[in-house]
A and B are shown apart, each in its own frame.
Chain A
Amino acid sequence: MNKTTRLSRRDFIKLSTNVLFGLSGLLGLSGLIRYFSYLPATETPTEFDLGDVASYPIGSRTVRSDIPAVIYNRQGEILAYSLVCTHLGCTIENNDNGFACPCHGSQFDRDGVVLEGPAQKPLKRLRVEVLENNMLRLYTG
């Protein structure tokens, strides 16, 4: 008889109950995580109509603070950059060199290149399409 390797009846029941409690706890936790995992459908618009191409003459620089984005016309080519700071998401503001973030002081030049941190990444370039009727559409997505 080798008694030491065998689990006593009392210990077995104790262990079983603990395992069951643990499992029920995990089950409850998984339910809670599932409950919190719901992500509502996003309502944030990702397409913006910018109006007629003609309202962006060559050499112009237009800030649309509602998007927020800046739209350039460089020799007939329409460029757009997001004005959301790549550091922590504040909306950046115009200054002499280009743009500066009011929250943590990042600086960007007119083409979105980082001049001064803490931001690491350049401003996001946004896609602009010219539709058939010469209207512009901006995509932030």
Chain B
Amino acid sequence: MPRYRVFIVISILAFGVIFSSSVFVGASASSQAITLSQVTPTFDISRLNQPPTVIPPAQADNGAQVYWGMCMPCHGDHGQGLTEEWRDSFPPDKRDCWQSGCHGSDHPKNSFEIPTTGAPALSGAGALSRFSNSFELNHHIQQNMPLFPTGSLTSEEAWSLTAYILRMNDRQPNGFTLSEVNGSAIPVHQKVKSPQSTIPGLLTLIGILILTAIGLELQPKFDHTKPNFFHHLHPPSIPAKQSRFRYTLGAGGMAVFLSVILLVTGLLEMYYYIPTSDQAAISVETIVSLVPLGNLIRNLHYWSAQFLVIVMTIHLLRVALTGAYAPPRRFNHVLGLGLLVFTLLLDFTGYVLRWDEGIRWALVVGANLIKTIPWIGAGLYQFVIGGSEPGNATLTRFYTWHIFGLTLGEAILIVWHIFRVRRDGGISVPPPVERIEKDRITRFELLKREVLVMIIVGIILLLFSMIVPAPIKQPISDTTALTGNSRAPWFFLWVQQLLKFGDPFLLGILTPVLVVIALGVMPYLLPNANCAELGRWFPRGNRIAQILTVLLFLVILVLTFLGAISQ
């Protein structure tokens, strides 16, 4: 099959592109890693200045202030310890810190003795060698520092100091807030890449793809007759004309493929994701920054979910614009819409699982929208949110729905939808007597084409996952509501835009529901394509439905665009 050669060539080309870009990325990363340690011959007094105030302060910025006030005199302005060079910054009569009894001749009444080894360095080679993780480091700080009076730091100060010391050593993961619960997971000595490189995972996956492609290329040469399990999922043969990509757009197959990717990557994420309000965003950060291949797996999950919405929309448009939902496929059209709704709910619950500042307002707005439903609004709100306002209970419920309830529903709908495709006689075609082209392709050929589409989609997915990381922001905290992240997720931007025009219930709940209902009843209420025109684009019979669908699509597209450009 020449077509088969094509995708092997594509795979190898993609491999080459990614490999060369990995070299490029690696090179730029290593050039960043080189930091020049400057040696200043004369002491620069500005080194004693208070560190600048950062707003809003990260944990390490608070630590910098504490460090300046309490630790710097002994441990140095950049954690170098009590070196001779640093000691020379002291006034001449106070430089004998090496001696017992600090501050020389006039040391204060209740002063303390510096250990004879001096104050150790906190950064640089060999520093902090006795600590393996942040929890141990923090414990030491809180138990033994500052020397006078020992243990006088609050827990918050100690953690912010730990964060600052990690930053000094260039080992603080971005966006983390260290605390008792995650401290033992954050290493002191292992350099944290933030976020993790996706290259090793990409190389692994592309290797798998190429090996599979070669295997699939070779396999039929040895085994012509026996259909395997995947062949048996397909009819023995289907009409050649309707199996072309330009008719199906491959969208149904892509949707199945993306769903499988989502299932696998989602299951893998569950091993590290912690669904509590104080841990969720941190555990996502852990996946992204610490778990090997975690960043790639999360990006794949994210991009599959986004692509699934697009692919499903394309599938819906294809079915409407070819009139394929004509009887007996009316009910399957409704099942397909159900799948779209479930997918949007899965996307929204998955989006909320980040539990970072980026999702705060979308959750508040979504929750308050439920309240506006007459009669059942209050009860439904309580059922969905699990309390009087979004909180830990909401996250637990969204998690349960995302990984179990909605996923189960989606799985049942997928199986039902595909079963109905077969039950309703496969892809929509005119009845045999009215068919002009009689050519058919076998299931072997069909499966090959499907695998080809999967590989192409897989490569696109990998490229996106490498170039555009899935978003994650700082964890939601009760005290610092950040502004500027008030945009809905992109697939609900059109609803957000609608909400700007008036009544929340009419525009935010009723309108989307009516859109779905309108699409669902189309095959029942509007004229359908007659069976002779099936199996091609734009049949005359269901012209009204085609126009309606395209109009709805364009309106939603324009609203999404307006929502995206506002502010």
Q: Give me the interface of A with B, judged by CB distance under 8 Å.
A: 36-37, 39-40, 42-44, 65-66, 68, 87-91, 93, 102-105, 117-118
Contact = CB atoms under 8 A, between A and B. Distances in A.
Given A37-B382, A88-B365, A104-B496, 10 more contacts: A36-B382, A40-B386, A42-B388, A42-B389, A88-B364, A88-B508, A89-B368, A90-B361, A118-B500, A118-B504
A102 B483 contact: yes
A90 B389 contact: no
Contact of A102 (B389, B484, B508): B484
Contacts of B368: 88-89
Task: For chain B, give the interface size range.
Answer: 20 to 34
Interface in B349-408: 361, 364-365, 367-369, 379, 382-383, 386-389, 391, 393
Contacts of B500: 104-105, 118
B567 interface: yes
A39 B367 CA distance: 16
Contact of B361 (A42, A102, A118): A102
A68 B478 CA distance: 11
B479 interface: yes
B501 interface: yes
Interface in B480-511: 480-481, 483-484, 486, 496, 499-504, 508
B455 to A, nearest CB: 41
B481 A68 contact: yes
A71 B223 CA distance: 80
B499 A104 contact: yes
Q: Nearest 8 A-B pairs (CB), nearest first? A: A102-B486, A89-B368, A88-B368, A88-B365, A104-B500, A103-B486, A42-B388, A89-B364
Interface of A is mostly: loop
Contacts of A89: 364-365, 367-368
A66 B482 CA distance: 11
Contact of B502 (A42, A66, A118): A118
Contact of A88 (B478, B484, B502, B504): B504
Given A65-B481, A89-B368, A118-B504, A103 B361 contact: yes
A87 B504 contact: yes
A87 to B, nearest CB: 7
B364 A90 contact: yes
Contacts of A44: 388-389
Contact of B382 (A39, A91, A93, A104): A39
A118 B502 CA distance: 5
Nearest to A101: B486
A105 B508 CA distance: 15
Contacts of A37: 379, 382
A90 B393 contact: no
Given A88-B369, A89-B368, A118-B502, A103 B483 contact: no
9 contacts: A40-B386, A88-B364, A88-B504, A88-B508, A89-B365, A89-B368, A90-B365, A102-B567, A104-B365
Nearest to A103: B486
B383 A36 contact: yes
A91 B483 contact: yes
Given A88-B364, A102-B483, A102-B486, A39 B387 contact: yes
Nearest to A45: B478
Nearest to B363: A89
A66 B387 contact: no
A88 B498 CA distance: 13
A118 B567 contact: no
Interface in B512-567: 566-567
B496 A40 contact: no
Contacts of B496: 103-104
B368 to A, nearest CB: 4
Nearest to B382: A39
Contacts of A40: 386-387, 393
A90 B360 CA distance: 9
B365 A66 contact: no
A88 B383 contact: no
Nearest to B365: A88
A41 B478 CA distance: 18
A116 to B, nearest CB: 10
Contacts of B508: 88
A103 to B, nearest CB: 5
A96 B83 CA distance: 54
Contacts of B483: 91, 93, 102
A73 to B, nearest CB: 24
A118 B507 CA distance: 11
A39 B391 CA distance: 13
B481 A91 contact: yes
Contacts of B364: 88-90
Contact of A117 (B478, B502, B566): B502
B109 to A, nearest CB: 37
Nearest to A68: B481
A90 B504 CA distance: 13
Contacts of B367: 89
A93 B383 CA distance: 31
B478 A66 contact: yes
Contacts of A91: 481, 483
Contacts of A90: 361, 364-365, 486
A56 to B, nearest CB: 21
Given A42-B387, A90-B486, A118 B499 contact: yes
A132 to B, nearest CB: 29
Q: Which of A36, A93, A104, A117 gathers most chain B CB within 10 Å?
A: A104
B244 to A, nearest CB: 45
Contact of B479 (A66, A88, A118): A66
Interface string B303-323: 000000000000000000000
